[in-house]
Amino acid sequence: MWGALLRRWGRGGGRRGLSGGGPPSAAPWSQVVSEAEKIVGYPTSFMSLRCLLSDELSNIAMQVRKLVGTKHPLLDTARGFVYDSRNNLQMRGLVVLLISKAAGPSTAELSFQHNMVSGIYSSQRSLAEITELIHTAFLVHRGIVNIGELKSCDGPLKDMQFGNKMAVLSGDFLLANACTSLAQLQNTKVVELISSAIGDLVQGIYYENSRSSENCLTDDIGISTWKEQVFLSHSALLAKSCQAAMELAKHSAEMQDMAFRYGKHMSMSHKLHSDLQPFVKESSSDAMAFSLNCAPAVLHQEFLGRDAWIKQIREAQGKGNLMDYKKLQEAIKAGKGVTSAIDLCRCHGNRALAALESFPPSEARAALANIVHAVTRFS
């Protein structure tokens, strides 16, 4: 059945919009990724195998094992690499390979088509690994804790300090390997694109960290500012990597722009999908903790007003400033924030699908479309 769905899109049927009920053909995330990996030739959800087997990373892994039994967040990051959930987007490299295959060879560059394997240039496969390494490096760096905000229940200070050292060293190692591989591509424009994406990531993380340093529960921002910040911290790397993949194959500026748009809007949909999970999941009776700066909360604040939103937050705080997320969750669900976030998620999904129309019909394009369907599905 899945193969038939892929072929139906691949034969170029009309553009599929995302309606309120969601696409009937939307498949579970794990199935979408598994089928997509078969199209590009091998699994790409993890980092470069060459990097994983390096002596340097093995030594770092041995040191990280010393954190077992502590509460340092670097351990959760490591577990996430092994036990990848359907809500994680640790497959940016897979998207880069899919869009490379969907675009196919460029008529402007015929001299190096012998380097293609399964319809993908070797340089594009290297770019996919570089994208994964950069993403992983920043995930590891996000595991650094603020020593000044630690409490006694967080465990011994020496464990947290050691964990921070490991997060800095391992993240820097991965980023250095990515930059070395990037230089080996010997393409100035690609280096500029990926370097700017790294700069965007740094700026996006700065925005995230500046929130906590202000000792404020929630930001006074609108959804437009939220989208600008999410683009920097979540979408820029994938969008610019997709564009760089087109540059490596010498595709036109228009094709590069369409690849950029797909990467941007698909990852924006994914972020919105992730933010919505605490409000749309019905499997658990207990409310999931969520960020007060997530998309549904930001939209809820826009509709409700800043003062009324702060009042709801204060009413949900119990003794010791412990947050009653169930109460706050119900308040947000009673407003328009959740439905508006779902609409926005599908809006970005439709923009991603529109960008795909510039690519010729193929199984790779079908897989990219089904990734969009998977991250805009809420039932």
Helix (H, G, I), strand (E, B) or coil at 349: helix
Q: What is the DSSP string of 260-276?
A: HHHHHHHHHHHHHHHHH
Mean of pLDDT over the chain: 78
Q: Is residue 20 domain-resident?
A: no
Contact predicate 170/64, CB 8 Å: yes
Distance separating alpha carbons of residues 262 and 367, to the nearest angstrom: 13
2: pLDDT strictly greater than 70: no
Nearest partner of 297 among 320, 270, 321, 328, judged by Cα = 328
Between residues 258 and 113, the one the model is more confident about: 258
Tokens of 63: 């040191």
The tokens describing 311, both together, are 């009042």
pLDDT of residue 293 exceeding 70, the answer is yes
298 domain-assigned: yes
pLDDT digits (tens, 9 = 90+) for 235-260: 999 999 999 999 999 999 999 999 99
* pLDDT exceeds 90 at position 159: no
121: part of which helix (H) or strand (E)? Answer: strand 120-121
pLDDT for the residue numbered 83? 45
Higher pLDDT among residues 299 and 73, named by residue: 299
Report pTM: 0.81
Radius of gyration of the chain (CA): 21
Q: Is residue 276 part of a domain?
A: yes
Whether residue 136 lies inside any domain: the answer is yes
C-alpha to C-alpha distance for 222 and 131, rounded to whole angstroms: 30
Q: What are phi and psi of 252, to 5 degrees?
A: -65, 165
- 19 within a domain of the structure (yes/no): no
246 against 109, higher pLDDT = 246
Q: How much is the average pLDDT of 210-221?
A: 62
Q: Of 81, 103, 102, 101, which Cα lies nearest the Cα of 91?
A: 81
pLDDT digits (tens, 9 = 90+) for 5-39: 333 334 334 444 565 444 434 567 778 877 887 78
Per-residue tokens: 12: 């170029």
Number of domains in the chain: 1
Query: In a 3-state reduction of DSSP, which class is residue 44?
Result: coil
In the predicted model, what is the mean pLDDT of residues 278-296?
78
For CA atoms 216, 222, 223, 229, give the dihedral sign: negative
H or E stretch covering 246:
helix 236-248
CATH number of residue 206's parent domain: 1.10.600.10
Instruction: Report how far apart, in Å, the C-alpha atoms of 359 and of each of 110, 352, 356 are.
Output: 19, 12, 5
Indicate whether 164 belongs to any domain: yes
Tell me what pLDDT residue 60 has: 54
List the structure tokens of 106: 């460029």
The range of the structural domain enclosing residue 197 comes to 29-105+114-376
Q: Would residue 16 count as lying in a domain?
A: no
Name the token pair of 250.
Answer: 């010498």
Burial class (CB in 10 A: 0-12, 13-18, 19+), 55: exposed
193 part of a folded domain = yes
